[in-house]
């Protein structure tokens, strides 16, 4: 199983970035995928996640209305479109595979239920 993130960079506040997570080595359509981020000195936190079981896409409150997660099954890739970026969005962004057996954002936005983490991509938002 391999996940590779890309698309990070430096952007001014109010700008946009589109992250991608290319996956391989497992049946993409059968597993949920989550996006997480970790800022220096802080714990890893959930950003968005696609649940295959109920078809839901979950978003953390601090990105709702600004970030959109999508899935391209033909390319086994998920994307995270990030608009209206804020300096507090600065972090390393990771994707990973969901191995939980439950539905709902409580589980899908919790990094404890995920395995096979990518190497991450840096997002820096300047004020």
pLDDT by residue, tens only, the chain of 127 residues: 999 999 999 999 999 999 999 999 999 999 999 999 999 999 999 999 999 888 899 999 999 999 999 999 999 999 999 999 999 999 999 999 999 888 888 889 999 999 999 999 999 999 9
Cα distance between residue 99 and residue 107, in whole Å: 10
Q: Which pLDDT does position 104 carry in this prediction?
A: 83
Rounded to 5 degrees, φ, ψ at 46 are -75, 145
> How far is the CA of 2 from the CAs of 21, 25, 36, 51, 62, in angstroms?
10, 6, 16, 19, 28
Cα distance between residue 77 and residue 61, in whole Å: 24
């Amino acid at each position: 199983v391999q996940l590779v993130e890309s698309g990070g960079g430096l952007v001014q506040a109010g700008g946009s970035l589109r992250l991608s997570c290319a996956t391989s080595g497992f049946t993409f359509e059968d597993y949920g995928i989550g996006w997480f981020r970790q800022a220096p000195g802080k714990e890893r936190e959930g950003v968005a996640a696609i649940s295959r079981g109920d078809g839901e896409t979950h978003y953390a409150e601090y990105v709702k209305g600004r970030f959109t997660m999508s899935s391209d099954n033909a390319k086994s890739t998920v994307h995270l479109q990030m608009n209206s970026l804020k300096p507090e969005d600065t972090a390393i962004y990771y994707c990973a595979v969901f191995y939980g057996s439950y539905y709902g954002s409580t589980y899908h936005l919790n990094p404890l239920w995920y395995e096979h983490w990518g190497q991450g991509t840096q997002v820096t938002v300047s004020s």
